[in-house]
Amino acid sequence: MQQEIKGYIHVHSNYSFDGKNSVKELAEFFAAKGYEFVCLTEHADDFDDFKMASLVNDCKKYSDKYITVVPGLEYRCNDLVHLLGIGVTELCGSDDPIEVSRHIKQNGGVAIVAHPRGYEKNLTPTLINVIDGLEIWSGPKDSRFFPHWESLLTFKNLKRIYPSLIGLGGADLHTIEAYFPLDTIIKTNSEAFSSSGFSNGVLSIKGAYWNLLPGSISSFQRELTLKVLRIALNMAKRFMHRI
């Protein structure tokens, strides 16, 4: 029988220079909100082997039967590419996105291109061949209210060529005070979180006002609606700046 497992992806603890909360605080916060996993993606620039081991130990320490705290890193690579290594436990010393992606997967992690809107042209066929997926809804970059139609279009076009690609939502959260709903739901046969669920399960992304459900990404009507909403949001932002 399939289970639905709710998680939150792309979170920075105080292991990152711009993160505010400890791993313990994050584990308690997300468990209290009913999440069953939270994926930490700390800035790799700040890390050495000792710090990596400490993060992994903290993730194990504060995981329990209610929530799994998943260690991970965000790599700032060449060509403006940012890569999330979800579930990695070892550092990679390279800044070449292809080498980093291979390291992530060899280390048992999931390689995801973070907030790709704006540098889509740098996603070469060679890179796409070695990653697992893309962040198709980035809360800070696309908005927490709804995804950006350009991100979905990029993903749709790539998925036609690379059908195994997965699309995830990423909150890029640096403090629990800025929390907003952007949930990843994995429908899987497993009762507990496993990184293999990203590729083997059925994924959906749920925000407070907009959901991305399986099969709905390629809907022309939804793309048109998102374009109209984007225009309205931009107009509202310009109006607020004038006040």
What is the domain partition of the chain in residue ranges? 3-217
Read off the pTM: 0.89
Residue 216 φ/ψ, nearest 5 degrees: -95, -10
CB distance 197 to 190 below 8 Å: yes
The pLDDT, as a whole number, for residue 221 is 47
Would the pLDDT of 149 be above 90?
Answer: no
Reported as a single tens digit per residue, the pLDDT across 45-76 is 989 999 999 999 999 999 999 999 999 999 99
CA 234 to chain centroid, in Å, comes to: 24
The CATH code of domain 3-217 reads 3.20.20.140
The pLDDT, as a whole number, for residue 3 is 84
Reported as a single tens digit per residue, the pLDDT across 208-241 is 988 887 555 555 445 556 666 556 656 666 655 5
Kindly state the average pLDDT of the residues 87-100. Answer: 96
5-8-89-135 Cα dihedral, nearest 10 degrees: 110
Comparison of pLDDT for 150 and 54, the residue scoring more: 54
Amino acid at 40: L
> Among 52-61, 91-100, 132-141, 183-192, which is the least confidently predicted range?
183-192
Would the pLDDT of 102 be above 90?
Answer: yes
The pLDDT, as a whole number, for residue 198 is 78
The pLDDT, as a whole number, for residue 226 is 61
The pLDDT, as a whole number, for residue 220 is 45
Kindly state the average pLDDT of the residues 179-203. Answer: 80
Would the pLDDT of 1 be above 90?
Answer: no
The pLDDT, as a whole number, for residue 176 is 98
The pLDDT, as a whole number, for residue 229 is 58
Exposure pattern of 156-184 as b/e (b: 16+ CB <10 Å)? eebbeeeeebbbbbbbbbbbeeebeebbb
Contacts of 135 (CB under 8 A, 6+ apart): 10, 84, 112, 113, 114, 115, 116, 151, 167, 168, 169, 170
Query: Closest by alpha carbon to 109, among 77, 138, 70?
Result: 70
Contacts of 106 (CB under 8 A, 6+ apart): none
